[in-house]
C-alpha cells in the first residue's frame, strides 16, 4: 500500500465500486464529481477540486438586488415573451457595440435558459438551413456536453484537435471539411474550455473568411467573455475589444453567458447574438421543420419556443440592470473576475515546480493567459493513470480525452473552486505525488 495523503484503501474501494474502470479517463464531469464526493464523505478529507467549471466568486450585488426588485414588482404569474425582455435586449445590443464594436439590433439579441439551451436551440436550427448539409464541425478541444447534445438530437458532427493546426495551418484543415459541402456550421469557444487557448486575430480571420466562402454559420461560444487577461477588455466603447469572428464574416452567432463572467450560473441565463444579416436571411432547408424560412424566426419561434416558455422575468430584469451598469461604466465586470487569473498563476507554478507539464501552453508564439482553466500532464503517465492516481492525493480534475483533445495524456484543471488558503495543501500534495513517482 502506498503512503498517500488520502487513505489509499478507501480511495481504491470507491474507485473500484464506481463502475468507472477500466477506462476512468472517459468519465464525465458529473461522474468524477460523484466519486470525489463519496471519497470526501468517507475520509473526512477535503479535496483540491478542479473537476467542475463552476463560479467561485459571489454574484454582483447590482444583479442580485435588481432580481429581488423584479420579483417584488414583476407579474410572475405571467409567461415571459419568448423573444426576450425589451430592456435586456436593448442593453445586450449596447453591450455588443461597446465591448465587441459591432452594431447588432436589439431584435437579434435573444435570451435563453443558459448557454446550454442556446447551444441546443442553435444545433436544432443551423443544421436545417441547407437540405444537403447535415454536419457540424467542432474545433476541439471543447465542452463535452455540446457533443452530447448533438448525439441526443441526432445531429452529425466531426471534430479535430486544433493543437497542431495553429496559425496559417488552420486554413487548410478547416477547408478540408467545408469543401465537402456537408457542414452547416463551425463551433468553438474563445477563450477555450478546456485548454484556455485564445484564437489570434489571424486565426479568427481565417475562420471568418472560410465561413463566408462556404456559407457556413460560425457559432462562437464566448462563455468566458473578456477573460483573456493579457489585454484589458473592460472599458466600454474603447479598444481593445473582445476578439471575435464577427469582425471577419456576417455568418456568425455568438453565445454570451452570465454564468462565469457574472458568477450567475445558478439562475441560468444566456444571450444569443445573431448577425443582423443572418437573422433575416432565408434558407430553403428551414421550411422542412419551421413555419418560416428566415433564420431568426426559426430560431426564436421554432427552436427556442419548443425548448421552454421563455427565460424567467426576474432573471432578465436583473441582467438588464447589470448590463446597464457595465455599459455605463459603473461596474467593471472584468476586474471582478481577475482572481481567477491570480489563482491560475500560482497553481500552474506549483504544478510546474513539481514535474508536471502544461499541455496547451501557447497561442501561436505567445504563452496562454492565466485564467479559468489550464491543462497539465505528468511525464510517463497516461491520462487514465493520472486521473486515477491523483485521487489518492486529494486532487480532482477531468481528462482531456472527453473534450475531443488528442492529447489524451492531459487533464483539465479549473481554478474557480480552489481558494488561496488551499495553495499550501495543494503544494504539499503535489510534492508527495512527485516523491512517489
Phi, psi of 219 (to 5 degrees): -100, 110
d(CA 360, CA 194): 9
Q: For the chain, first and last CA: distance in Å?
A: 14
Q: Which three cell numbers stand for residue 250?
A: 456576417
Look at residue 162 in the predicted model and tell me its pLDDT: 97
Q: Is 196 a residue whose pLDDT tops 70?
A: yes
Sorted by sequence, the CB contacts under 8 Å of residue 53 that are 6+ apart come out as 29, 193, 260, 372, 373, 414, 416
The secondary element (H helix, E strand) that includes residue 139 is strand 135-140
pLDDT band at 375; cut points 50, 70, 90: very high
Structure confidence by residue, pLDDT tens digits, 273-287 = 999 999 999 999 999
The DSSP code for 46 is: P
Structure confidence by residue, pLDDT tens digits, 89-142 = 999 999 999 999 999 999 999 999 999 999 999 999 999 999 999 999 999 999
Report the CATH fold assignment for 61-327: 3.40.640
Sorted by sequence, the CB contacts under 8 Å of residue 345 that are 6+ apart come out as 370
Residues 299-325 have a mean pLDDT of: 96
Q: Is 2 a residue whose pLDDT tops 80?
A: no
Report the CATH fold assignment for 8-46+338-436: 3.90.1150
> Which 3 state secondary structure label does DSSP give 177?
helix
Q: Which three cell numbers stand for residue 242?
A: 473582445
Look at residue 414 in the predicted model and tell me its pLDDT: 96
Residues 395-413 have a mean pLDDT of: 95
How high is the mean pLDDT of the chain?
Answer: 96
- The radius of gyration of the chain from alpha carbons, rounded to an integer in Å, stands at 22
* Helices assigned H by DSSP within 215-338: 276-279, 295-297, 305-307, 313-327, 333-336
Structure confidence by residue, pLDDT tens digits, 133-163 = 999 999 999 998 999 999 999 999 999 999 9
Q: Is 22 a residue whose pLDDT tops 90?
A: no
Structure confidence by residue, pLDDT tens digits, 226-277 = 999 999 999 999 999 999 999 999 999 999 999 999 999 999 999 999 999 9
Look at residue 23 in the predicted model and tell me its pLDDT: 87
Which neighbouring-strand residues pair with 373?
414
β 252-257/411-414 pair status:
unpaired
Task: With both helix axes pointing from N to C terminus, report the angle between 144-153 and 114-126 in degrees, rounded to the nearest 10.
Answer: 50
Instruction: Kindly report, as residue ranges, where domains of CATH 3.90.1150.100 are found in the chain.
Output: 8-46+338-436
Q: Is 219 a residue whose pLDDT tops 90?
A: yes
Cβ atoms 201, 248 nearer than 8 A:
no
> Which 3 state secondary structure label does DSSP give 403?
helix
pLDDT band at 1; cut points 50, 70, 90: low
Sorted by sequence, the CB contacts under 8 Å of residue 162 that are 6+ apart come out as 139, 140, 141, 170, 188, 197
Instruction: Kindly report, as residue ranges, where domains of CATH 3.40.640.10 are found in the chain.
Output: 61-327
Look at residue 21 in the predicted model and tell me its pLDDT: 85
d(CA 206, CA 203): 5
Residues 1-9 have a mean pLDDT of: 86
The DSSP code for 298 is: I
Q: Is 13 a residue whose pLDDT tops 90?
A: yes
pLDDT band at 33; cut points 50, 70, 90: very high
Burial class (CB in 10 A: 0-12, 13-18, 19+), 243: buried
Amino acid at each position: 500500500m502506498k503512503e498517500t495523503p488520502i487513505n489509499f484503501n478507501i480511495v481504491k474501494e470507491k474507485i473500484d465500486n464506481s463502475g468507472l474502470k477500466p477506462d476512468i479517463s472517459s468519465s464525465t464531469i458529473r461522474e468524477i464529481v460523484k466519486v470525489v464526493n463519496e471519497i470526501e464523505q468517507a475520509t473526512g478529507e477535503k479535496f483540491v477540486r478542479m473537476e467542475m467549471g463552476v463560479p467561485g466568486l459571489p454574484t454582483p450585488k447590482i444583479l442580485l438586488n435588481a432580481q429581488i426588485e423584479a420579483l417584488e414588482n414583476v407579474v410572475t404569474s405571467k409567461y415571459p415573451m419568448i423573444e426576450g425582455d425589451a430592456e435586456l435586449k436593448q442593453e445586450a445590443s449596447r453591450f455588443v457595440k461597446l465591448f465587441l464594436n459591432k452594431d447588432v439590433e436589439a431584435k437579434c439579441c435573444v435570451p435563453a435558459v443558459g448557454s446550454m439551451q442556446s447551444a441546443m436551440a442553435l444545433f436544432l436550427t443551423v443544421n436545417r438551413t441547407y437540405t444537403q448539409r447535415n454536419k457540424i464541425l467542432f474545433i476541439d478541444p471543447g465542452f463535452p456536453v455540446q457533443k452530447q447534445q448533438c448525439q441526443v438530437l441526432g445531429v452529425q458532427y466531426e471534430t479535430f484537435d486544433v493543437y497542431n493546426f495553429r496559425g496559417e495551418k488552420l486554413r487548410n484543415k478547416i477547408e478540408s471539411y467545408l469543401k465537402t459541402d456537408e457542414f452547416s456550421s463551425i463551433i468553438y469557444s474563445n477563450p477555450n474550455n478546456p485548454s484556455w487557448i485564445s484564437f489570434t486575430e489571424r486565426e479568427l480571420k481565417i475562420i471568418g473568411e472560410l465561413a463566408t466562402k462556404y456559407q457556413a454559420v460560425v457559432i462562437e461560444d464566448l462563455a468566458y467573455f473578456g477573460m483573456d487577461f493579457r489585454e484589458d477588455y473592460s472599458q466600454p466603447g474603447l479598444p481593445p475589444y473582445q476578439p471575435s469572428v464577427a469582425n471577419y464574416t456576417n455568418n456568425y452567432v455568438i453565445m454570451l453567458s452570465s454564468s462565469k463572467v457574472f458568477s450567475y450560473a445558478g439562475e441560468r441565463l444566456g444571450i444569443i447574438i445573431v448577425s443582423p444579416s443572418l437573422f433575416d436571411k432565408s434558407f430553403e432547408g428551414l421550411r422542412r421543420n419551421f413555419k418560416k424560412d428566415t433564420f431568426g424566426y426559426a430560431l426564436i419561434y421554432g427552436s427556442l419556443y419548443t425548448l421552454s416558455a421563455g427565460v424567467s422575468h426576474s432573471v432578465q430584469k436583473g441582467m438588464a440592470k447589470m448590463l446597464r451598469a457595465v455599459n455605463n461604466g459603473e461596474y467593471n465586470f472584468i476586474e471582478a473576475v481577475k482572481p481567477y487569473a491570480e489563482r491560475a498563476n500560482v497553481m500552474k507554478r506549483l504544478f510546474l515546480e513539481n514535474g508536471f507539464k502544461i499541455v496547451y501552453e501557447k497561442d501561436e508564439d505567445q504563452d496562454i493567459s492565466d485564467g479559468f482553466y489550464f491543462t497539465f500532464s505528468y511525464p510517463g503517465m497516461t491520462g487514465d493513470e493520472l486521473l486515477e492516481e491523483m485521487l489518492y492525493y486529494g486532487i480532482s480534475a477531468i481528462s482531456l480525452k472527453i473534450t475531443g483533445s488528442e492529447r489524451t495524456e492531459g487533464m483539465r484543471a479549473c481554478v474557480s473552486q480552489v481558494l488561496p488558503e488551499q495553495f499550501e495543501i495543494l503544494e504539499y500534495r503535489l510534492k508527495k505525488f512527485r516523491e512517489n513517482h
